[in-house]
Amino acid sequence: MSIPAVRRPDGGRDRRGSHRVAILVYDGVTLLDVAGPAEVFKEANRFGADYRIVLLSPTGADVTSSLGIRMAVDGAVSPGHAIDTLLVAGSDHYPRAHVPADLADAARIPAAVAGRVASICTGAFVLAAAGILDGKRATTHWRVAHELAVRCPTCRVEPDAIYVRDGTTYTSAGVTAGIDLALALVEEDHGPDLTRDVARVLVVYMQRAGGQSQFSAPLQGPPPRSPALRRITDLVTADPRGDHSLAELAKHLNVSTRHLTRLFHDELSTTPARYVEKIRFDLARALLDQGHTATQAATLAGFPSYESMRRVFAHKLSITPAAYQRRFSTARRAREPGGPHR
Tell me which of 97-101, 167-171, 196-200 is least confident: 196-200
Domains and their CATH numbers in the chain: 2-214 (3.40.50.880), 227-335 (1.10.10.60)
* pLDDT value of residue 342: 40
Residue 32 has pLDDT above 60, yes or no: yes
**Whole-number pLDDT of residue 121:** 94
Whether residue 113 has pLDDT greater than 60: yes
For residue 36, give the amino acid letter. G
Q: Is the pLDDT of residue 329 over 80?
A: no
Long-range CB contacts for residues 6-15, cutoff 8 Å, separation at least 24: 6/53, 6/54, 6/74, 7/74, 8/52, 8/54, 8/74, 12/54, 12/74, 12/75, 12/81, 13/82, 14/52, 14/82
Distance CA(323)–CA(210), nearest Å, equals: 10
Could you tell me which residues are beta bridge partners of residue 75?
56
Q: Cβ(326)–Cβ(319) under 8 Å? A: no
For residue 219, the Cα-to-chain-centroid distance in whole angstroms is: 16
Amino acid identity at 39: E
Residue 321 pLDDT greater than 70, yes or no: yes
pLDDT at 208: 61
Q: Quote the pLDDT of residue 334.
A: 38
Give strand ranges (E) for 35-110. Answer: 51-57, 63-64, 70-71, 75-76, 85-88
Percent residues over pLDDT 70 in the chain: 85
What confidence category does residue 335 fall into, taking pLDDT thresholds of 50, 70 and 90? very low
Confidence (pLDDT) at 98: 94
Phi and psi for 56 in degrees, rounded to 5? -120, 145
Assign 8 a pLDDT band (cuts: 50, 70, 90): very low
pLDDT tens digits, one per residue of 58-112: 999 999 999 999 999 999 998 887 899 999 999 999 988 999 999 999 999 999 9
Task: Summarize the confidence of residues 306-315 as an average pLDDT.
Answer: 92
Question: pLDDT tens, 40-56?
Answer: 999 999 999 999 999 99
Q: Is 134 helix (H, G, I), strand (E, B) or coil?
A: coil
- Mean pLDDT for the chain? 85
**What pLDDT sits at residue 219?**
45
pLDDT (0 to 100) of residue 190: 94
Separation between Cα atoms, residue 118 and residue 123, nearest integer Å: 8
Q: What is the mean pLDDT of residues 296-319?
A: 91
- Please choose, from the candidates 53, 84, 323, 47, the residue with its C-alpha nearest in 3D space to the C-alpha of residue 196: 47
Pairing assessment for the beta strands 169-172 and 163-166 based on DSSP bridges: antiparallel
Check residue 192 and give left, alpha or beta (phi > 0: left; psi -120 to 50: alpha): alpha
Half-sphere exposure of 333 (CA within 13 A, CB side): 14
Buried b or exposed e, range 181-210, using 16+ CB within 10 angstroms = bbbbbbbebbeeebbebbbeebebebebeb
Annotated catalytic residue 121: yes
- Per-residue model confidence as pLDDT tens digits over 34-44: 999 999 999 99
Ranges assigned E (strand) in the chain: 2-3, 19-24, 51-57, 63-64, 70-71, 75-76, 85-88, 116-119, 137-138, 156-157, 163-166, 169-172
pLDDT at 3 over 80: no
**Mean pLDDT value across residues 15-44:** 91
pTM of this prediction?
Answer: 0.63
Supply the pLDDT for residue 176. Answer: 81
DSSP assigned state of 86: E
Residue pair 156/138 in contact by the 8 Å Cβ criterion: yes
10 Å CB burial of residue 82 (0-12, 13-18, 19+) is middle
pLDDT digit string, tens, across residues 200-220: 888 776 666 556 555 544 544
- Tens-digit pLDDT profile for residues 133-152: 999 999 999 888 889 999 99
Which residue type sits at 320? T
Q: What percent of the chain has pLDDT over 90?
A: 56
Phi/psi for 165 (5° steps) reads -110, 130
Of 18-22, 98-102, 314-318, the range with the lowest mean pLDDT is: 314-318
| Helix runs in 215-305, H state only | 227-238, 246-253, 257-268, 272-289, 294-301
Cα separation, 86 vs 107, in Å, equals: 8
Q: 244-293, pLDDT tens digit by residue? A: 999 999 998 899 999 999 999 988 889 999 999 988 998 888 888 777 88
Candidate list 121, 126, 145, 161, residue with the active-site label: 121
DSSP 106-124: HHHHHHTT-SEEEE-TTHH
